[in-house]
Amino acid sequence: MSTPTGAQPYGAQTAQVEVRYDEQTVKALSGLSLVLGLVTLILGILLVAWPSATLYVLVVLLAIDLFVFGAIQLARAFLAGSAATGTRTLVGIGGALSILLGFLVLRQPLQTVVVIALLIGAWLVVRGVFDIVEGAAGRTASRAWSIVVGIVSIVAGAIVLLQPDLSLKTLVVIIGVWMIVYGILLALAPLVLKRALNEA
C-alpha cells in the first residue's frame, strides 16, 4: 500500500520522535549537570574563601549541596527513561541518600567536627562509587568523564575518613577544594558530551 505524497511510514515517524526525545533528554541531563556543577563550584569557592567558617556554616553549605545533588539525581532517574532499570534505580537511590544525609547533617546533636567529617567522608566515597559504576555501565554522557569525577570524590572521601580528627579549618578547605574540582568537572561535562556527539 502506497503512502500519501510527502507522508512518511508510521515506523519512520516513530523513529524521528524517538530521536527528538533522545536529544531533548540529553539536553535536559546536560542542563542538570551544568546547574549542579555551578552550584557545587560556588559553594566550594565560598568555603575556600572563608576557611574560618564555623561548623554551622559548613553544615549549611554542605546541606545545600546535598539537597541540590539529591534533587537532580532523582530528576535524572526520571528523565533517563531509555536507560537500564538498574542504572535508573542506582541514580535514584543516590539521590534519595543525598537528601537524607542533608537532613541528617543539619541535626543539632550531630554537629561535631568528627561526626560531620565521618559522614561526609563516607558519603564522598559512596558518591564516587556511584559515579564510577554509572560511568562503567556506559549510561552517562561521557564514561571516562564520569569515572574521573568518581575518582575525585573517592580520593577526597578517603582523605577525610583516614583523618577524622582534622581541625575544622582543614576540613573546610578539603571540602571546599573538592567542591571546586567536582563542580568544574560537572560544569564541563555538557561540553564534553557535545564534542563527543559532534565527532560521532
Burial of 82 (0-12, 13-18, 19+ CB in 10 A): exposed
Q: Say if 32 falls within a structural domain.
A: yes
Interatomic CA distance for residues 105 and 119, integer angstroms? 8
CB of 48 closer than 8 Å to CB of 180: yes
Could you count the other beta carbons within 10 Å of the beta carbon of residue 109? 6
Instruction: Please tell me the predicted confidence (pLDDT) of residue 110.
Output: 63
Cα dihedral value 135, 137, 140, 145, nearest 10: 20
Greater confidence, 11 or 109? 109
Confidence of residue 196 (pLDDT cuts 50, 70, 90): low
**Kind plus residue range of the DSSP H or E element containing 2:** none
Confidence of residue 13 (pLDDT cuts 50, 70, 90): very low
Domain that holds residue 175: 16-199
Q: Say if 71 falls within a structural domain.
A: yes
Q: Say if 2 falls within a structural domain.
A: no
For 157-196, b/e burial (b = at least 16 CB within 10 A) is: bebbeeeeebebebbbbbbbebbbbbbbbbbebbebbeee
pTM of the full predicted structure?
A: 0.76
pLDDT for 35-53, tens place per residue? Answer: 888 999 999 999 998 878 8
Residue 1 in this model has a pLDDT that exceeds 80 = no
Instruction: Please tell me the predicted confidence (pLDDT) of residue 140.
Output: 53
- Cα 155 from chain centroid (whole Å): 16
CB of 58 closer than 8 Å to CB of 47: yes
Number of domains in the chain: 1
pLDDT for 137-168, tens place per residue? Answer: 765 556 777 888 899 999 999 999 998 788 88
Task: State whether the Cα torsion 81-87-89-93 is positive or negative.
Answer: negative
Q: Say if 145 falls within a structural domain.
A: yes
Q: Say if 155 falls within a structural domain.
A: yes
Q: Say if 90 falls within a structural domain.
A: yes
